[in-house]
Amino acid sequence: MAEKLLEIENLSVEYNTEIATVYAVNGLSLSLNYGETLGLVGETGAGKTTTCLSIMRLLPEGIGDVTEGKITLDGNDMLALPEEKVRELRGNTVSMIFQDPMSSLNPVMTVGDQIKEVLKIHNRSMSKDELDKAVDNMMELVGIPANRKNEYPHEFSGGMKQRIVIAIALVCEPKLILADEPTTALDVTIQAQMLGLINDLQKRLNTAMILVTHDLGVVAQTCEKVAVMYAGEAVEIGQAEHIFGGKYLHPYTQGLFNAIPKLDEDTPRLETIEGMIPDPTVKIEGCRFADRCRHATEACRKAPRMVEVEKGHYIRCHLFGNKRE
Ligand code: SF4
């Protein structure tokens, strides 16, 4: 199905604190089809989590503010809907898997009750037996024996807790999952299992997914589409084969690849991207990557626009300024 499930148009988000205003997302546009997987890549502070929280309408109240743009999810204008309607969509149409399972589970509720709670909210007509059966099925689906449903989160290992979080996110079979670094808090062996599990469930239920990560290896294994974010804006968007095929790459994406150790090369020192992500409290006129870019020229004082360098592959950089023409 090639129809659009999610469309983000020119999204800008600010956090207003007593000390300063943080410009977290700046004019982000991207889209996702039904059943598609998008890897949202970038270093800390790139605006990845803020983008997900904006889709869910879960920005911290009184601090986080969408100042511009539009988010359309499954035909719903998310930023214009009344809170009540958004609550109906959360869990049912869109779910989020948070980074740290330890802090996303309720420590004084059994895991079975936590899965059941989501089901009950969205399926008021289900009988007690039907709810219990659905909880059992979901636990088995994520690889936890259903007879452990009356246990509390502290009785499970980190990997199992994350499975419960995934079960809660998927139990209502949402059309979109926002997985915010779902494997970061887990050790490497469990990470691979968890990604396999999310992928498997996502294919089985035809759920679309935005996978937030800073790990390009994870994206290569799991995603069809990739958006690279830097300092609150997308600098490159394309199909996975565009990004990993590497015919044209944004200098920042190239820098991320250069920083990955290569198994077939004896490298005494890994390459890094010199410098730091710009101060998010300062509005930047030109290219946000300019201070760290080895190709920067006078032209980069002007903000580059997104250019389609090949079909479905977009780059925001003056180096590719004339490709479209
Ligand atoms: Fe580098 Fe200029 Fe391209 Fe920015 S626009 S990434 S500074 S070459």
Q: What are the boundaries of each domain within the chain?
A: 4-93+174-320
What is the distance in A from the centroid of ligand 1 to the CA of 215?
23
pLDDT tens digits along 21-32:
999 999 999 999
pLDDT at res. 124: 78
Q: What is the pLDDT of residues 54-89, one digit of tens each?
A: 999 999 999 999 999 999 999 999 999 999 999 999
Which mutation among 289, 305, 307, 316 tests ligand 1's pocket best, with the greatest number of atoms within 8 A of CB? 289
Residue 169 phi, psi dihedral angles, 5° rounding? -70, -30
Substitution candidate for ligand 1 out of 233, 248, 284, 295 with most atoms within 8 A of CB: 295
Q: What architecture (CATH level 2) is domain 4-93+174-320? A: 3-Layer(aba) Sandwich (3.40)
Answer whether residue 325 shows pLDDT above 50: no
Rounded to the nearest whole angstrom, what is the distance from the C-alpha of residue 295 to the centroid of ligand 1? Answer: 6
pLDDT at 250 over 90: yes
> What residue spans of 231-298 are helical by DSSP H?
240-245, 251-258
Q: What is the mean pLDDT of residues 207-227?
A: 90
**pTM for this model (two decimals):** 0.89
CA of 235 to the centre of ligand 1 (A): 10
Q: What's the mean per-residue pLDDT of the chain? A: 89
3-state SS class at 268 = coil
262 phi and psi, to 5 degrees?
-105, 135
Render pLDDT for 94-108 as a digit per residue (tens, 0 to 9): 999 887 777 889 999
Q: For 34-131, where are the E strands, in sequence order?
A: 37-41, 64-73, 76-77, 94-97
d(CA 291, CA 277): 9
Q: Mind listing the pLDDT tens digit for each residue in 137-170?
A: 989 888 899 999 999 999 998 888 988 998 898 8
Spatial CB neighbours of 48, under 8 Å, sequence gap ≥ 6:
40, 41, 42, 180, 212, 229
Q: Which atom of ligand 1 is nearest to the CA of 252?
A: 6
Nearest-Å Rg of the Cα atoms of the chain is 21
- Interval between CA 284 and ligand 1 midpoint (Å): 13
Phi/psi at 110 (5° precision):
-65, 155
Residue the block writes with tokens 């502070």? 45
Q: Which residues line ligand 1 (CB under 6 A)?
A: 251, 287, 289-290, 293, 295-296, 300, 304, 317-319
Q: What is the pLDDT of residues 5-19, one digit of tens each?
A: 999 999 999 999 889
Residue among 253, 256, 319 whose CB has most ligand 1 atoms within 8 A, to mutate: 319
The angle that helices 158-170 and 111-122 make with each other, rounded to 10 degrees, is 10
CA of 305 to the centre of ligand 1 (A): 11
Strand ranges, E, within 132-270? 176-180, 208-213, 225-230, 233-239
* Cα–Cα dist 249/163, whole Å: 35
Atom of ligand 1 nearest to the CA of 289: 4
Distance 265 CA to ligand 1 centre (A): 28
Read off the pLDDT of each residue in 26-50 and give the average, rounded to a whole number. Answer: 93
Burial degree of 154 (CB within 10 A; 0-12, 13-18, 19+):
exposed
Atom of ligand 1 nearest to the CA of 297: 2
For residue 252, how far is its CA from the centre of ligand 1 (angstroms)? 9
Tally Cβ neighbours within 10 Å of residue 288: 23
